[in-house]
Amino acid sequence: MSVGAGLAFVILGLSVIAAALAASRARLWRSGRAAKVDWVTGLLAVPKRYLVDVHHVVGRDPSAARMHALAAGGLLGGSGLALLAGLTESRLVWSATALLFALALAGGIMVGRRRYPRKPARLSGGKFQLLPFALVAYGAGALLVALDAALGHALAPLGWIGLVLAAFGGGWLALQIGRGPMRHAFAGALHLAAHPRPARFDGVRETALVPLDLGAPRLGVATPADFAWNRLLGFDACIQCGRCETACPAFAAGQPLNPKRLIQDLVTAMQPGGSNAAYTGSPYPNARPVAGIGGPERPIVGAGAMIHPDTLWSCTTCRACVEECPMMIEHVDAIMDLRRFQTLELGALPEKASRPLAELRYADEPGGRALGARTDFAAGLDLPLLREGGHADILLWLGEGAYDLRHGRTLRALVALLKRAGVDFAVLGEEERDCGDLARRLGDEDGFQRLARANVATLARHSFGRILTADPHALHALRNEYRAFGGAYEVIHHSALLDELVAAGRLPVGALAEARVTYHDPCYLGRYNGEVDAPRRLLDRLGVARVEMERSGRHSMCCGGGGGAPVSDIEGDARIPDLRMGQAKATGAGIVAVACPQCSAMLEGVTGERPAVHDLAELVLMAVEAAPVAEAAR
């Protein structure tokens, strides 16, 4: 047997080992609930999803993208060609195989340089530290075999040495398909085919939560077996790159949440007798003690389980982890499923979160205030009310922030601007209930669905064109999450409408030329709904000197106000809004422009010397009021 045929035989043997280990892993996923998967479409779409969607995220770190392309492409392509070359003994095919294994070797060296002499804190250690040695051994050994075969066995001794190296390195890699670093390669490919949110790969911003069947025997997720099987598969796709932990605001603030550790705990939880002691990445900051023992039918959350409840309640649901994950894992969906069980089945809410949910049940408003008082902010503004039988081009959805004096200033500015622009608008008044965002994010799916159905019924009684809101959380609920309950509306954020009005000349503005402004993207506007351009266009029309924070757009850092975090109130080392304001101060801006009542409240709560906080509507009103002055000066 030639050395080339020997390499082909080794690759076939390793493939059998890898397949057996992959099958054992798949048996763990089968413990999960059934899920509908379009396998034909999914499998055919894997090349595009991998080469385009995955590498779009990986490519944000160019060195990592090159490393991954060389290591993965060279290893898979070289192994495939080596099988063909071993059958044909074609020196031309062996030459091409040598080229691919040279690329794999280069990729393996890059993996090593990434981890040695010092590993970045976000990368996991343990077996991952051995990965570059195995990649280099397999790549170098197979390269020697391929070169020997391509040159007519002129390198015969080196070829056999290479075969031993390739068998050793490849054997280690194959064994890691089960519980080691290579698990993600097999699971990741299947995850792309069976993804629970396939519309993500078709350019659709699919961010609404899937409604919970309130008639199900169990509400939410208590054990790994309660997850759909393709969710369990998705957890195994994690490569532990740590991009999610770097992006997580709770992790940065020292709260007991690390999205990477969370996913790995869910991986361990599905394994009978699994223990989280094997994890080698960054821990949860200020971790609460747990037993750390898993199993498909064992509870996931609790001091005697795998994950402490404080870890769940630390999440702001900002989706920064999801946005940065190269394997397209849905961390927030998993957290919400776990929260639903804690809230609906156990009533195990953080202490401060219980009251607003109780008020929502009895008053349709988390503060327990009268619905008619929502318009008190507009005293003296003659706020038009949309009545049955009437019509308005714009229905202004005031949102929960209308009760807050600070956001009331924003709404007064917005109403004044709409009147100046001659916009035909109206409000619902006491017919407007809470949109239910807080209830849904705290796991009270029953409360959310009740509010959603009631609001959909109310809106059905009225005639209007578009819904306008200055609250991105309400925008997301009305635009995306109400669709499952029969509510399909065109919902626009006030930044987009004001941009339209200023561009059309309906709001003449004077330049705020002396202002240096940085814009803070709300998570539920930027990441959840993809609106990052309109607020910036609007600021540019005002003539301000706009500067960007280090984290902006879809990669913006959360203010800490989403996901019920203000009422969950999990203690950390710092406050998330303080961290975000620090990033704003670093730009040298005198003003932080905001576009969300939660962001306004959180950032204005930062003490000490800091930039002023103004909503976009307030800045536009300043510019409109400056317009006559500018005209007189000319």
Task: Name the nearest CA neighbour of 320 among 208, 382, 245, 372.
Answer: 245
pLDDT tens-digit series, residues 570-616: 999 999 999 999 999 999 999 999 999 999 999 999 999 999 999 99
Averaged pLDDT, 386-391: 89
pLDDT tens-digit series, residues 225-238: 999 999 999 999 99
What six digits make up the tokens of 406?
A: 């600070």
| pLDDT of 631 over the 60 cut | no
Q: Is 605 helix (H, G, I), strand (E, B) or coil?
A: coil
| pLDDT of 418 over the 60 cut | yes
| pLDDT of 389 over the 90 cut | no
Task: Name the nearest CA neighbour of 410 among 481, 455, 468.
Answer: 468
What six digits make up the tokens of 533?
A: 């351009």
Q: Is 598 exposed, middle or buried, given 0-12, 13-18 or 19+ CB atoms closer than 10 A? A: buried
| pLDDT of 378 over the 90 cut | yes
Mean pLDDT over all residues of the chain? 94
Q: How does DSSP classify residue 234?
A: H
480 within 8 A of 208, measured Cβ to Cβ: yes
Does the bond joining 628 to the residue before it have cis omega, within 30 degrees of 0?
Answer: no
The DSSP line for 42-87 is: HHHHHHHIIIIIIHHHHTTSHHHHHHHHHHHHHHHHHHHHHHHHHH
Q: Maximum CA pair distance of the chain? A: 94
| pLDDT of 420 over the 80 cut | yes
| pLDDT of 633 over the 50 cut | no
Per-residue pLDDT band at 630 (split at 50, 70, 90): very low
pLDDT tens-digit series, residues 126-155: 999 999 999 999 999 999 999 998 888 888
Helical (H) or strand (E) element with 23: helix 3-29
- Strand segments, DSSP code E, in 515-603 are 516-519, 545-547, 591-594
From the CB of residue 573, how many other CB atoms can be counted at a distance below 10 Å?
A: 10
Integer CA distances (angstroms), 613 to 617, 618, 619, in order: 12, 10, 10
Amino acid at 142: A
d(CA 58, CA 88): 36
Give percent above pLDDT 90 in the chain.
86
pLDDT score for 1 = 66
273 within 8 A of 306, measured Cβ to Cβ: no
Q: Is 158 helix (H, G, I), strand (E, B) or coil?
A: helix
| pLDDT of 634 over the 70 cut | no
| pLDDT of 629 over the 70 cut | no
Per-residue pLDDT band at 567 (split at 50, 70, 90): very high
pLDDT tens-digit series, residues 443-495: 999 999 999 999 999 999 999 999 999 999 999 999 999 999 999 999 999 99
87 within 8 A of 8, measured Cβ to Cβ: yes
264 within 8 A of 238, measured Cβ to Cβ: yes
d(CA 626, CA 510): 5
